Amino acid sequence: MTIRCLICNSSVVLSQEETQAIALLIGLLDGFLKGIQGAPSATPGGAVASPLGHTVSMMVEGISGATSNWADTQAFIREHRKFHFMGYDHLCLRCGALFDDSPDVESPLDG
């Protein structure tokens, strides 16, 4: 089922749920990468005593970073909903139209 824009009939339409999922993924990845940067690094020669232990330590730091970034990500999602979607369900990326779900906007050919 493809949602089409009510104005320009474009299929390049984002829903609030899709946007939220994308923002969550980006926020978690951002926090994970920040956490990894804070993990203890390898020696200047690049060797570590326990490569597995070092990798697990980096993953723990990354998960910790993702968790600590959660509040910022949620705030970003709330602002995005408020200012970009303004209470509507869908945003057309071609013309910028905002609209809600409607049985009339579904195209049966797009399955």
The binding site for Zn ion (CB under 5 A) comprises 5, 7-8, 10, 92, 94-95, 97
Nearer to Zn ion, 10 or 57 (CB): 10
Burial class (CB in 10 A: 0-12, 13-18, 19+), 85: middle
List the one residue out of 37, 10, 21 whose CA is nearest residue 80.
21
* Nearest approach, Cβ of residue 4 and Zn ion (Å): 8
DSSP H or E stretch at residue 56: helix 51-68
* Nearest approach, Cβ of residue 3 and Zn ion (Å): 11
* Nearest approach, Cβ of residue 17 and Zn ion (Å): 19
Nearer to Zn ion, 76 or 99 (CB): 99
8 A C-beta contact, residue 11 and residue 17: no
8 A C-beta contact, residue 16 and residue 81: yes
Nearer to Zn ion, 65 or 90 (CB): 90
